């Protein structure tokens, strides 16, 4: 039976931030992932686990992913512009980039939804405006 898992990550969409590199007193370099990225990945895992109820795609499964990132509407916009944004006539051509949104979600689900995100063979990403910012994710076996 082919599964279809859908879940929502509340809050504004986030992209995968680059790792940070700092020098410590000994002169060695230390690399770490920014806290904001770590928190968003953990929230993604929590939402997936709640929706999937223990389901994980088989190690040889080919997986498809659909991500709809819904951005908040800026308060400074006119009623006419806000209406156009909600109708999908104006879309958010702004950061985070689509590839970084896909990266943060797919990396967060490694080992939880599937063995590795290399199993993803089909991806669709969409950016929209909404009154309630969130990211909708759907995974299925292709």
Mean pLDDT, all residues of the chain: 93
Domain positions in the chain: 4-141
Mean pLDDT across 76-103: 93
* b/e per residue 41-53 (b: at least 16 CB within 10 A): bebbbebbeebbe
The pairing of strands 120-130 and 20-23 is unpaired
Distance CA 129, CA 87 (A): 9
Q: What integer pLDDT is reported at residue 1 of this predicted model?
A: 60
Q: By CB neighbour count within 10 A (0-12 exposed, 13-18 middle, 19+ buried), where does 82 fall? A: middle
Pick from 24-28, 79-83, 90-94, 100-104: least confident: 24-28
Binned at pLDDT 50, 70 and 90, residue 3 comes out as: confident
Architecture of domain 4-141: 2-Layer Sandwich (3.30)
| Chain segment 47-79, per-residue pLDDT in tens | 999 999 999 999 999 999 999 999 999 989 999
Task: Give pTM, 2 decimals.
Answer: 0.89
Q: By CB neighbour count within 10 A (0-12 exposed, 13-18 middle, 19+ buried), where does 84 fall? A: middle
């Amino acid at each position: 039976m082919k599964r279809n898992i859908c879940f929502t990550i509340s809050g504004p969409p986030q992209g995968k931030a680059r790792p940070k590199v700092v020098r410590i007193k000994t002169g060695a370099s230390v690399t770490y992932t920014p806290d904001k990225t770590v928190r968003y990945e953990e929230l993604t895992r929590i939402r997936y686990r709640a929706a999937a109820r223990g389901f994980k795609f088989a190690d040889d499964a080919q997986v498809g992913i659909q991500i709809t990132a819904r951005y908040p509407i800026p308060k400074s916009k006119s009623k006419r512009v806000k209406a156009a944004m909600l109708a999908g006539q104006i879309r958010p051509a702004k950061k985070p980039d689509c590839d970084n949104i896909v990266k943060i979600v797919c990396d967060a689900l490694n080992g939880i939804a599937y063995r590795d995100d290399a199993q993803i063979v089909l991806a669709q990403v969409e950016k929209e405006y909404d009154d309630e910012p969130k990211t909708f994710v759907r995974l299925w076996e292709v």
